[in-house]
Amino acid sequence: MPRYKLTLEYDGTPFVGWQRQDNGLSVQEAIETALEVLGGEKIRIRGAGRTDTGVHALGQVAHASLAKEWRTDVLRDGLNAHLRPLPVAILAAERVPDHFDARFSAVRRHYLYRIVNRRAPLTVTRGRAWLVKRKLDSGAMQDAARVLLGSHDFTTFRASQCQAENPVRTLERLDVVREGEDVHILASARSFLHSQVRSIVGSLEHVGSGKWSVADMRDALEARDRCRCGVVAPPEGLYLSAVDYDAPPAK
């Protein structure tokens, strides 16, 4: 069965997350339904990251093994036709080797978190960013971000229901970039714990607003205690922006 890599983006607002669930429509279910209508077969796909309810994606990756050969442009356009009017778009479809796995072949995942730092309410970015009205010191946030770089036990910054056996992760990038009222937090790692990015962002907000010092961030990390985490940032500001693989898949 030929295997295809799908690169996609979506607005996570109307979905219960990436993964199929009993309590509402997921992105995975929407794509699987479109594949069934298009090709007449029930398909299960696997995604590179299990985004939570309300979380968006600019470069999510999934793979699907299909019963027939498809021209990749026809597969892309056909899926997009059947996904309308849901806010999901297949950006690219590529033929890949049978051993390619969207989740397990990934070598790096990139996340973007968007904060709008102003007093006025959000309009065009409502549901797509976190409005923080308190003035944020992005320089202090960047200093605190450096504390978290590298390999650490991130127990403090993972959800209590996280199912990962090992809380150690290697954070390769964590940058705070400010342009006017927009504060973007960019995080990269091979893998992340459940709610790790949102937990880190909420704690960085504490530093930026003056509630915490950089030393407080270090103490929270070293405590390895979920109760020491700052507020968990809301899901609407988080985007899975890209997923890296060792080599371009074969066409």
Q: What is the CATH number of the domain that holds 14?
A: 3.30.70.580
Report the number of distinct structural domains present in the chain: 2
Q: Specify whether 52 is located in the same domain as 160.
A: no
From 81, 104, 127, give the residue that closes a domain.
104
Assigned domain for 250 exists = no
Which residues are tagged catalytic?
52
Q: Specify whether 31 is located in the same domain as 19.
A: yes
pLDDT, residue 162, reads 86
pLDDT, residue 195, reads 94
Q: Specify whether 100 is located in the same domain as 114.
A: no
Q: Specify whether 74 is located in the same domain as 148.
A: no
pLDDT, residue 65, reads 95
Q: Where are the beta strands (DSSP E) in 66-191?
A: 88-96, 106-117, 130-132, 150-153, 168-179, 182-189
Q: What is the pLDDT along the chain (251 residues), one digit of tens a residue?
A: 899 999 999 999 999 999 998 899 999 999 999 999 999 989 999 999 999 999 999 999 999 999 989 999 999 999 999 999 999 999 999 999 999 999 999 999 999 999 999 999 999 999 999 999 999 999 999 999 999 999 999 999 999 888 888 999 999 999 999 999 999 999 999 999 999 999 999 999 999 999 999 999 999 999 999 999 999 999 999 999 999 998 654 45
Q: Specify whether 134 is located in the same domain as 189.
A: yes
pTM, two decimals, is 0.94
Q: Specify whether 89 is located in the same domain as 160.
A: no
Q: Which domain holds residue 197?
A: 108-241
Q: Which long-range contacts (CB under 8 A, 24 or more apart) does 163-166 make?
A: 163/194, 164/193, 164/194
